Structure 1
């Protein structure tokens, strides 16, 4: 059986009243192979159905085409753009007609975009379904849709998960949305709220991966500039030859390839905030220009002579020690004091362990959300032992390292609960480089070498026990000892006992 499935359009009814053909009639009367059955779906204009059916059947009969098996079927949809009910009705009809027919043709001309797109998605999953459309210019024509929606969906969903995994966690949070428990971070949030209400430049300090951009964005969102642009740039990633142009812009023809005038980040961020991440990486000549912006509130584009006023609040961040850089003449002292008006030091993750369970749960929510679009997606969480293991790790890469580890553990875990073992296997081992400073002794100077060695040994024993969750076998392996018995001897020698 050759079947046509279509939605009823208002144009079909109104043109039939003038004895003219619209989409349904054009397709039914002009298809190369006549349709044995025509199924029309509708949810409106019920008072016109009988007259339309009578007219269509008459026209089919006159054309010597099958006309007895033509019907308008009422469907239950909330409205013509409600995807949920349109999907439910379309799925029922397409599955039924595809099973009952040798060939099922679906019209893509009548109906709303929601009806047509749903029909395409469902029809592509059936091997005996084809699509057709009509127009006054071209008449009727087959529609080729040369891709597999199922494969493309899986590919797109997988790409979305991959993109999320390689990026940092969500940075768009207000200060009130940053949930913390530790006294150290509560102090940071309180200081950030005070700075948010001011117009002062802010310098955010902290190790790599501590969330400096998240906090800077939150300060902007809590400021009077919240409805204005927030532009962020990693100064360490700026090409040496383009850093001037990227920050301050350039005029047309100012250098090879400058085919158009370009507004730099300072102009793009006018009335808003410019976040300079890793500001310590800026070359000294650019530091001079940045200082001028802070002092005078103006910039000059590359190749230009006009001084352009800009109203931009600067929030800078770095993991480097700027004071040491100032002393080494690697960072301008006058620029440092211009930036370091409102200074916030974000503690490392190992200094705010009270926040780790909250942070882990938040990151897992993000991972679960990003993977929910995948076929057979399964929500996962961290086991109790897994959480204890996480709390015992130093997280030298801070939140970024934790985020990447959780993504890997999520990927490899086959169950809904991610175990301590899976988290351990997901971690990247970082062997600390052994860089020893030169030791110099003056004649007559004395030191207690045994005490120094014992103190050094005790610190490493305690660190290994914490990281291994007090597992002697694992701790001895971390310290390159032959057995846990050898570790016990060490522990006894420096007075370290396992907690009971």
Structure 2
């Protein structure tokens, strides 16, 4: 049986009702929970925490339903961007681990009109939900919104200050067309691209972190194409695709006769990339012995081919990428710390697609255009567009495979669609059931069997410290509050303890 959850902002009328003002009656929230049944009530509060707790204590006397209070910080009660981001964060946290076994209700009456508008947007896009409203005159009733509200205009509500002025204030280099292929509009991607533009002209290693399919190679190519090495080779290597026994000869080259089958001398990837950029995709897959050799190359600027006795000078810039969490891999001994320190001069963390608010609509348009271009000249192919319901379904997905999964879904849908318009059933048939394996809980792991308490604590701390810094937009004081630390100085000490100093940059 599905769990029924009610989400609402605590409003001024609700606080007045709790303080005993008879003219307002029970207030919108209490009126709803006494008139309808819910399994859980989640209240968002931008008032002082003491006022929120006082209201929850009063509301608990009106209903036996479980009440969860979520304290959020807004710069103003009509700031659409902050309201949207906080509402999405609370929803994601509340629904974690529930699968699809829930029914959502959003209460429109409490709070400001901006808060009600965001509930409507979310109910029609990412989080389908029933909308309710309540009043003393009409009681509690379902609010009718008789149209599909597109999420595409949402970024207009969240429009940021003039980008050119902000670029100048942040000391960014002029706009680089090389980054134009990276579709983005959200704040987190804007920050990543801004840092990439800053580091591109510098001759330093770059480490790109992110889940599979987030566009790590695309970002690496943009950095290379904006750098002084743009006219030199860009050599991309998938470290996980090379058999272990061939890693050294492939990377560092070999002399004739160095081993059976070496009938001629061959330059390795490092030499081929000299004066250019070597992109090490999935660098976390490199065997430890190869990591030692690579460290030597970075330290000395030379490479020794297999079977050779002399060193060859090389001038190569390294950009590495991985979907592994190297902040966990290094303490666990699966990745050398000295190599990590060499690579991690500039760290860029690409967010997963599910966290890129406002970007999915743009990506759908760009990728559908790509699919249509791929179909040109193919027998029977018709130019495709998306119906409103198909688009809405795409916008509601979490996309665990990120941009790559979204692109392949559109490719499949363009094949299944018989006409010129891709309909919702076509999209539904094209989405793969990418079930995620739930990680084993921290408290139910068996003793022994490789249990490593320091590693578990580091994993837990790293996860929440990163989330707090990301959700606070880099504000250390706010991030400290989110994880229950007493001050930003204490937070800084924790970040340093777990090797997250690049977040402080």
The TM-score with structure 1 as length reference comes to 0.52
SS in 1 for 2:347: strand
The corresponding residue for 1:285 is 289
Give 1:137-176 correspondences, 5 Å limit.
174-176=178-180
Q: 1:435 to 1:205 in 2, by over 3 A?
A: closer
Per-residue CA distance 1:221-244 (angstroms, 9 max, x = gap): 010000110000110111111111
The corresponding residue for 1:328 is 332
Is the Cα–Cα contact under 8 Å of residues 298 and 309 in structure 1 kept in the other structure? yes
Q: 1:199 to 1:387 in 2, by over 3 A?
A: same
Distance 2:314 2:195 in 1: 27
Q: Indicate yes or no: 2:356 matched with 1:380.
A: no
Is the Cα–Cα contact under 8 Å of residues 207 and 348 in structure 1 kept in the other structure? yes
The corresponding residue for 1:319 is 323
The corresponding residue for 1:25 is none
Q: 1:208 to 1:438 in 2, by over 3 A?
A: closer
Distance 1:265 1:225 in 2: 16
After TM superposition, give the deviation of residue 184 of structure 1 in Å.
Answer: 1.0
Q: Indicate yes or no: 2:413 matched with 1:409.
A: yes
Distance 1:241 1:361 in 2: 44
Distance 2:189 2:327 in 1: 23
Gaps in structure 2 of 5+ consecutive residues: 1-176, 446-505
After TM superposition, give the deviation of residue 314 of structure 1 in Å.
Answer: 0.1
The corresponding residue for 1:302 is 306
Q: Indicate yes or no: 2:358 matched with 1:354.
A: yes
Distance 1:311 1:323 in 2: 28
Distance 1:243 1:270 in 2: 18
Q: 1:270 to 1:435 in 2, by over 3 A?
A: closer
Is the Cα–Cα contact under 8 Å of residues 353 and 391 in structure 1 kept in the other structure? no
Q: Indicate yes or no: 2:375 matched with 1:371.
A: yes
After TM superposition, give the deviation of residue 381 of structure 1 in Å.
Answer: 1.8
The corresponding residue for 2:8 is none
Per-residue CA distance 1:213-270 (angstroms, 9 max, x = gap): 0000110001000011000011011111111111000000000110110000111111
Per-residue CA distance 1:315-342 (angstroms, 9 max, x = gap): 0000101121111111110110110001
The corresponding residue for 1:190 is 194
Is the Cα–Cα contact under 8 Å of residues 204 and 346 in structure 1 kept in the other structure? yes
The corresponding residue for 1:275 is 279
Distance 2:439 2:297 in 1: 41
Give 1:53-452 correspondences, 5 Å limit.
174-437=178-441, 439=443
Distance 2:209 2:414 in 1: 31
Q: 1:180 to 1:285 in 2, by over 3 A?
A: same
Q: 1:299 to 1:179 in 2, by over 3 A?
A: same
Distance 2:209 2:396 in 1: 24
Gaps in structure 1 of 5+ consecutive residues: 1-172, 442-500
Is the Cα–Cα contact under 8 Å of residues 280 and 320 in structure 1 kept in the other structure? yes
Distance 1:395 1:345 in 2: 18
The TM-score with structure 2 as length reference comes to 0.52
Distance 1:395 1:257 in 2: 45
After TM superposition, give the deviation of residue 436 of structure 1 in Å.
Answer: 3.6
SS in 1 for 2:278: strand
Q: 1:342 to 1:434 in 2, by over 3 A?
A: closer
Distance 2:283 2:200 in 1: 20
Is the Cα–Cα contact under 8 Å of residues 232 and 276 in structure 1 kept in the other structure? yes
Q: 1:241 to 1:436 in 2, by over 3 A?
A: closer
Per-residue CA distance 1:107-133 (angstroms, 9 max, x = gap): xxxxxxxxxxxxxxxxxxxxxxxxxxx
Distance 1:192 1:227 in 2: 19
